[in-house]
Structure 1
């Protein structure tokens, strides 16, 4: 089970809001880069998505924003993210897909933030993504 520090939560929240402000154009830009990388990693994932990339990008960013804002609210975070995981099983998401999504997500942050994506920030994102993955897969109990 991953344990997030208060410092890591602060870093995650600050960088997410700096990188992806609440702006539909930025959401589509981020999502487009993310999904291009994800489908380059595993082209077989493309058929799991039945809507346009712009709408999917908006959904992705909206959910990530919610997670980033609510990660300190442990019970609410766990309840909502576990439910999201259950829905994703119905979409055909397999356990190995989480690693590929994480790889694409970290890659986008590294590419867009360049030298500002410090080792500490990378570690924070790896830990938060691990927490999300564990929760979505039902491996993490509320803290």
Structure 2
């Protein structure tokens, strides 16, 4: 486990996980979150179809706007890319190092939210985000 190949995959996982959150935030506007999850999560489509139908939240997804559908599809693709990178990192590195580095997505979500969603975290929130980032650096540099 002397190779740091896992680090690249863990960092890529964090980027894609952050994009998942941002793209879902944009895409979910005007659509039930359960239906949005159904669209994003092809892997569990049978389970979510039953849940959405049973709870009375079913609407025809093709009646949703193209922007909503487009961002939900992009969010699903980012989720898949994150999972691929995360599992590759786990295959090559220690879980105790990979998982915390994957949480760099917390920092990336904050940055992407400022840039893409015009969100403005408070000074206290930035401090917490900075601590998460510092923790990731400490873990990544540990031998």
With structure 1 as the length reference, what TM-score do the two structures score? 0.30
With structure 2 as the length reference, what TM-score do the two structures score? 0.30
